[in-house]
Structure 1
Amino acid sequence: MNENISQNTTENRFELAMEGKTAIVEYALSGDIITFLHTEVPPQLEGRGIGSTLAKYVLEYAKANHLKVSLQCPFIRSYIDRHPEYTSLLLHQPQ
């Protein structure tokens, strides 16, 4: 499924198109900090792990590009809570 994810730099989002619908992770990039703002999966695609696939992809993108991660998106935050291997990417480490 990862091969279907693309980065839309015009819209500042990562997109996964499937069955005529598009799931997204919106972001803001400032220097070496990427802020994940919002994750949205269309109702027709929910329950298939698409949000988690996107979360993993964007976090791997941040890691590969040496970006620190700031979170405003509760979905990405909960993904990191379940996958602590990504905690080191966070701009603000949990206490």
Structure 2
Amino acid sequence: MATAVIDNTAESRFELSVEGETAYADYHVIGDTLYIDYVYAPDALRGTGAAGKLMQGLVDTVSDRPQKIVPICGYAAAWLKRHRL
């Protein structure tokens, strides 16, 4: 079972734990912009939709903040293009 996406500010990454495995999105912040540097899902989670759930949780969390999201990672850029207004 998946847990909620958390913002691990100490590690500068959003995390989603599923059955003992963790998918994450590394980020850095400059001013009011959150840059998504890298999205990772371990082999056990690939093809399960975990990375997409991680991205949705990230977007939901950041939508409550006065920040914009800029993807550096190709996966994040493609996901945002498919899912964002």
The two structures share one fold, judged by TM-score above 0.5: yes
User: Normalising by structure 1, what TM-score?
Assistant: 0.79
Question: How many residues of Structure 1 are paired with residues of Structure 2 in the alignment?
Answer: 85
> Once superposed, which parts of structure 1, at least 4 consecutive aligned residues long, lie more than 3 Å away?
none
Instruction: Compute the displacement of 1:84 (Å).
Output: 3.6
Higher helix proportion, which one?
1
Pick the structure with greater CA Rg. 1
Provide the aligned C-alpha RMSD in A.
Answer: 1.6
- Quote the sequence identity (%): 28
Gaps of 5+ in 2: none
Would you say 1:15 and 2:15 are equivalent positions? yes
1:60 corresponds to? 60
Residues 22/64 of structure 1: CA separation in 2 closer, same or farther (3 Å cut): same
Distance in 2 separating the partners of 1:3 and 1:22: 10
1:44 corresponds to? 44
2:74 corresponds to? 74
User: Normalising by structure 2, what TM-score?
Assistant: 0.87
1:32 corresponds to? 32
Instruction: Compute the displacement of 1:16 (Å).
Output: 0.9
Tell me if the contact between 1:2 and 1:57 (Cα under 8 Å) persists in the aligned partners: no
2:4 corresponds to? 4
